[in-house]
Homo-oligomer: A and B are copies of this chain.
Amino acid sequence: MKLNDFLTEQWMNDYEGRAVYNMTDTCVQPLSLRELTAMDEDHLLERTILDYGVITGDEKLKEEILRLYHTGSTANIATTHGCLAANEMVMNTFLEPGDTVVTFVPGYQQFTDIPASLGCRVITVSLREENGWMPDEKELEAAFHSPVKMVILNNPANPTGRFFDEAFLEKLTGYCRPEKTYILSDEIYRGKDPDEISVSDLYEYGISTSGLAKMFSLAGLRMGWIKASEEIIHQLNVRRDYTFISTGPLADTLSCIALRNQDYLIERSRKIISADKQVYTEWLKKEKHASLVMPEKGTVGFLRYEGNIPSRDLALQLLDEHGVFFVPGSCFGCENHLRIGFTRDPEMVTEGLRFLSEKLAEINC
């Protein structure tokens, strides 16, 4: 089944290695293995045997994952190799050729291109910057004029950083309930704020995916999961036997250790994200050629710039001249934007923005 290049990921693969000032990473500053194993107060690693482990995921790990949600039991959780694989498994399990899928743009390319490769009809609803990156209500409603099999979004969203609150999700489930439309909500950028509701906590056909890469700074464990109804989890576990069997006791155990320290890790991330947002807020006060819908949640945002230069050229010039690394809006089909991350040392971000200001002044002179 043919797929085009995944533009954002290809960009990262091709250029990230040259970054001196990485302004676009979506993962909060990663932990080292040594930092993580130091948290193993229960000595779980000493007893780890490298067999397949529990095929459907370690029960202790699932208990820790469950603490991130308001409802359900461990029977509502399936573990996967990262959140991306979780999304793909959900799509492969529940979508058939000819099904209609609704998703949002600018958004994550997987959400349009995997369903299209499966022979689905994909309806894209625009997120409007002038509306704080929310969709137009009429456009959203119109997408449901014929039956929809699955809505796919991420919440908070990438690249816009938009957080879809409970009121919006209630409206969306209102459109979905009559046809039992699945809502696949990639919640990898979700934290633990009380208002950060998961779709799996409020809708029977809601399928929440997440993982340890972004807010927990542990992309290297490649741990993701799915939370959904027991019936949905059962169907996903049938597919698991054909695709990857288990996540394995090593990743399960280390992820369990991480999530036993989830409050510490989330607080560590909150501090870094807040500091970086503060840098941007101060910078934007003085920078007349850029604007930003400042995200409430998550680690990413979508910076708008003025000037007659394609985003790809701007990003490449900044990288070549100063090692300042952004993902250009063109990777999301949206010019005059750069995808930014609030994930790194604020002093580095400050430096990077100084180079961006110089470049924007040059372009707009």
Chain A positions near chain B (C-beta within 8 angstroms):
1-6, 9-10, 12-13, 27, 30-34, 36, 45-46, 48-53, 55-56, 81-82, 84-85, 88, 92-93, 95-97, 109-110, 113-114, 118-119, 213, 217-222, 238-239, 241-251, 254
- Nearest first, the 9 A-B pairs at minimum CB distance are A50-B220, A6-B241, A9-B241, A30-B51, A33-B48, A222-B248, A81-B81, A220-B248, A85-B244
With A13-B56, A50-B221, A88-B244 known, 4 other A-B pairs at CB within 8 A are A1-B95, A32-B49, A113-B242, A220-B248
In contact, B222 and A81 (Cβ under 8 angstroms): yes
Cβ–Cβ contact B9 & A245, under 8 A: yes
Provide the residues of chain B in CB contact with A110, threshold 8 Å.
Answer: 242
Q: A31-B50, A32-B49, A248-B220 are in contact. Are A239 and B55 (CB under 8 A)?
A: no
CB neighbours of A9 from chain B (8 A): 55, 241, 245
What are 8 of the A-B contact pairs (CB < 8 Å)? A1-B118, A4-B238, A27-B51, A30-B50, A50-B220, A52-B219, A52-B220, A250-B254
Question: Is the beta-carbon distance between B49 and A5 smaller than 8 angstroms?
Answer: no
Let me know if B250 and A221 touch, CB within 8 A.
yes
Bound Cα distance from A221 to B52, whole angstroms: 8
Q: Is there contact, CB below 8 Å, between B32 and A84? A: no
Chain B minimum-CB-distance residue to A247: B222
When distances are taken between beta carbons in the complex, the residues of chain B under 8 Å from A239 are: 3
- Bound-state Cα–Cα, A269 to B53, Å: 20
Cross-chain contact A10 with B221 (CB below 8 angstroms): no
Assess the B3–A242 pair: CB atoms within 8 A: yes
Contact A96 B245 (CB under 8 A): no
Q: Which of A222, A238, A249 has the most CB of B within 10 A?
A: A222
